[in-house]
Chains A and B, each alone.
Chain A
């Protein structure tokens, strides 16, 4: 039996708690949250042991593992404290806003041979796993370009402010939404060499971006584009999708299905044929012990538990991999802050008779 604690009982924490609490090999010993409300209700009606102070919980209770689902700003401190107590750690995404801190935590976890996993659940979605298998089998030849997208209806009007709408807390469209497609691209192509053309634009939010676009550059001309918008009401809920172009075909995948076009019949993977192939979630998804909101959420927690039981360090979404995603996001922020370099390439043509604004006028005066 794995003795486990859950810290942070927001939307993700509560759902992790419900799923892991139903796991036959896990005993949830205590839960922890800084605000007492949800905690008190749960304590009153279910009798679970509760804490408002994370350090007190670590000191009081014998644990094997912990799920950390607090806002990202607090991840660094909590993960380190847990690792120092030799706990296996499942941490919500994004992992650490400070890259150096994230690298340090990845190092400690590896040195101590503790199971470490970050909640990028898309790596447990059957259709995306199928993409990974197809790429490993080189089903579409050499990949030349990836388009990774995520859209959904989160911020639809200028109102409301919680930690989710503040980048300093680990909120915002980049950390909350874009992190997922970026993480998928990292899984499929690895770490990019550089990023360019990054746009982090506000639509409705006051303190953070609502749309994110960027190009990721790889060796040999390979590239990926990220296109994300969490203010898109035309989507009923968050939708993540990837399209991959290769020399021998194309793959499109979202949570429901994986569509593959294969050009050549020289090395068609088993079960596939030349031309169009479609695999649905019903075929690609393995059953889980408990279902709350998608098999992938259950599957990632089950994987964490099984790694602990087997003492395996075959981590999926390890801290190290999550730091890769954090690093790409940091690169995108730095890139976006540079603003577009309109004068470095071909200069934009001046409209006849129209005067440029302050910026260009000012520059002229200096030169």
Chain B
């Protein structure tokens, strides 16, 4: 895994600070070329890993990369699934089981359809989970996806429900079917580490907010410090700037001093910001 990963919030109007800023970004990135330009900037700066939601628009980014294999030969996708709003809105329209049915493969592989129907009937979560994962992964066919993440909304829902078996099912499927590493995004890192340990997922990749002011670090700042110090896992720090509440230099300097952090994921919309972030990280961390 690279030490500096590029995130995708800026492309989809996700901004934890301001609706106005979020909308401006949505307008700016309406055309795919604007997204590709920024990804090119990152790639040319040596930030070659793209941690992205399985949003419909990412499928277009995938098409672009597939059609230019030479240009993007070192490009890596780190998919984060599922894109939750897609499901949430479907639940409102079709109800829980209806929504599930909608996202299971409709036709084609008879086997898959059977697997889905049978799983639904038997309440076999393994069959349903693996089918949903496969549906989300379709867009990345033929591309390099070394780590595949489960999004925090799902991870934390399962964590709250004490539905730990699902973590194991996800992890096993990612390893066996995609020959990739499973990753988990969470807002409750210390609690998740305990749960993953219980189901025997060793040295997991866990991405969570890690920032100087403790923004959305649930379980408390000290519990995060302790986990970084004592637990065996590969931490990825996100929201290191705490949505802009911590100045860039101060934020990076602090996060680079914490133990056990394998990578930082950050979002940026301009070449200058990408370069500055990279320079800052190089200053406090040795890259590679």
Q: Which residues of A contact B (CB under 8 A)?
A: 10-11, 14-15, 17-19, 21-22, 37-38, 40-42, 44-46, 48, 153-155, 159-160, 162, 164, 236-237, 239, 241, 254, 256-257, 280-283, 287-293, 295
Contact assessment for B215 and A282 in the assembled complex, using a CB-CB cutoff below 8 Å = yes
With a cutoff of 8 Å between Cβ atoms, the chain A residues found around residue B91 in the complex are 10-11
Further contacts, 8 of them, CB under 8 A, given A256-B19, A280-B17 = A14-B161, A38-B96, A45-B165, A153-B89, A164-B92, A237-B88, A289-B218, A291-B187
With a cutoff of 8 Å between Cβ atoms, the chain B residues found around residue A154 in the complex are 89, 92-93
In the complex, what distance in Å separates the CA atom of A295 from the CA atom of B90?
24
- With A38-B96, A289-B218 as known contacts, state yes or no: A18 contacts B245, CB within 8 Å: no
With a cutoff of 8 Å between Cβ atoms, the chain B residues found around residue A237 in the complex are 85, 88
In the complex, what distance in Å separates the CA atom of A89 from the CA atom of B165?
31
Q: Which of B74-133 contact A (CB under 8 A)?
A: 85, 88-89, 91-98, 123, 125
- Across the interface, A282 reaches (CB within 8 A) one of B17, B158, B191, namely B17
Q: Which residues of B contact A (CB under 8 A)?
A: 12-19, 22, 26, 85, 88-89, 91-98, 123, 125, 153, 156-163, 165-166, 187-188, 191, 213-220, 242-245
From B95, B160, B218, residue with most partner A Cβ within 10 Å: B160
With a cutoff of 8 Å between Cβ atoms, the chain A residues found around residue B26 in the complex are 236
Contact assessment for A11 and B92 in the assembled complex, using a CB-CB cutoff below 8 Å = yes
- With A11-B92, A254-B19, A282-B243 as known contacts, state yes or no: A290 contacts B85, CB within 8 Å: no
- Across the interface, A283 reaches (CB within 8 A) one of B94, B95, B245, namely B245
With a cutoff of 8 Å between Cβ atoms, the chain A residues found around residue B94 in the complex are 160, 162
Which are the 3 A-B pairs with shortest beta-carbon distances? Answer: A18-B160, A291-B187, A160-B93
With a cutoff of 8 Å between Cβ atoms, the chain A residues found around residue B215 in the complex are 282
Minimum C-beta distance from A98 to chain B (A) = 24
Q: Can you sample 25 A-B contacts with CB below 8 Å? A: A15-B157, A17-B161, A37-B96, A41-B123, A42-B163, A46-B161, A159-B93, A160-B93, A162-B94, A164-B92, A256-B15, A257-B17, A280-B244, A280-B245, A282-B16, A282-B243, A282-B245, A287-B214, A287-B220, A289-B218, A290-B219, A291-B188, A291-B216, A291-B218, A292-B160
- With A11-B88, A236-B12, A290-B191 as known contacts, state yes or no: A21 contacts B125, CB within 8 Å: no
Contact assessment for A37 and B123 in the assembled complex, using a CB-CB cutoff below 8 Å = yes
In the complex, what distance in Å separates the CA atom of A21 from the CA atom of B94?
27
Minimum C-beta distance from A199 to chain B (A) = 22
Question: Nearest CB to that of B214 among chain A residues?
Answer: A287
With a cutoff of 8 Å between Cβ atoms, the chain B residues found around residue A22 in the complex are 159-160, 188, 191
With a cutoff of 8 Å between Cβ atoms, the chain B residues found around residue A38 in the complex are 96
Minimum C-beta distance from A120 to chain B (A) = 19
In the complex, what distance in Å separates the CA atom of A161 from the CA atom of B153?
25
In the complex, what distance in Å separates the CA atom of A293 from the CA atom of B157?
9
- With A45-B125, A280-B17 as known contacts, state yes or no: A162 contacts B161, CB within 8 Å: no
Contact assessment for B159 and A162 in the assembled complex, using a CB-CB cutoff below 8 Å = no
Contact assessment for A19 and B160 in the assembled complex, using a CB-CB cutoff below 8 Å = yes
In the complex, what distance in Å separates the CA atom of A45 from the CA atom of B13?
36
- Across the interface, B160 reaches (CB within 8 A) one of A21, A236, A241, namely A21
